[in-house]
Amino acid sequence: MDLTPEQKQAVAAWVAAGDNLSAIQKKLLEEFRISLTYMDVRFLVDDLELKLKDRLPKASADLGAERREPETQDGAREAKKSLLDKAKEKLGIGQGAPPEEDFEEDAGEVPLPGGSVSVSVDKVTLLPGAIASGTVSFGDGVTGKWIVDNQGRPGLTEVSRPGYRPAPADAQAFLQQLSLALQKRGY
């Protein structure tokens, strides 16, 4: 199908504005009564030598793809939160604790509260919906398995004592060690 120069300019303007192929397809139908398939719109954009702007889907950004900086200050703060910060906020612990930058990089040199907590990371995660998993042993002898789901939320499963809640110091030590262990693995 041949478009008029005005229609070609409109398509170019929509691409420049960041519209995706679906939006362009819809606008062609609404504004010019031109019905094209999605693939035809793709070919049209290619024929006009236009380049679509890349937009990352939210899911891929959550899975570690390159992220665009949020446009608001609140969004920027949220994007820079580490796994540890998100978990602390969710569990309501560590309020008023020193910022993470104050801690040494090597976990062996950092005196962690509840120092008898140990965390290990599984080499392969086979649990559905989990991006990482491993085991934890708390200072009072309770053991369990931990997971981090695909939204970055930590959780405990298969705890050796039903209904167990770790002491606040142990919970904070667990989150700190978990964060360090995951960072070493590239999460």
Report the pLDDT averaged over residues 164-184.
86
Q: Is residue 63 part of a domain?
A: no
* In the predicted structure, residue 184 carries a pLDDT above the cut 90: no
Tell me which of 23-27, 58-62, 171-175 is least confident: 58-62
For residue 83, give the H/E element and its range: helix 83-91
Residue 40 and residue 90 in one domain: no
Q: What is the mean pLDDT of residues 45-64?
A: 67
- In whole angstroms, how far apart are CA 21 and each of 28, 44, 51, 141? 10, 10, 11, 57
More confident residue, 115 or 47: 47
Domain that holds residue 16: 5-47
Of the pLDDT bands very low, low, confident and very high (cuts 50, 70, 90), residue 92 is low
Higher pLDDT, 148 or 80: 148
Average pLDDT in the 6-25 region?
A: 91
The residue type found at 19 is D
Residue 174 carries which side chain, given as an amino acid letter? F
pTM above 0.85, yes or no: no
Residue 21 lies in a domain: yes
- pLDDT at residue 58 above 80? no
Share of the chain above pLDDT 70, in %: 66
pLDDT, averaged across the chain? 74
Reading the block at residue 128, the tokens are: 């559905």
Number of independent structural domains in the chain: 2
Domain check: are 84 and 171 in the same one?
A: yes
| Same domain, residue pair 42 and 90 | no
Q: Do 102 and 170 fall into the same domain? A: yes
pLDDT in tens, 65-86: 444 444 455 554 554 556 666 6
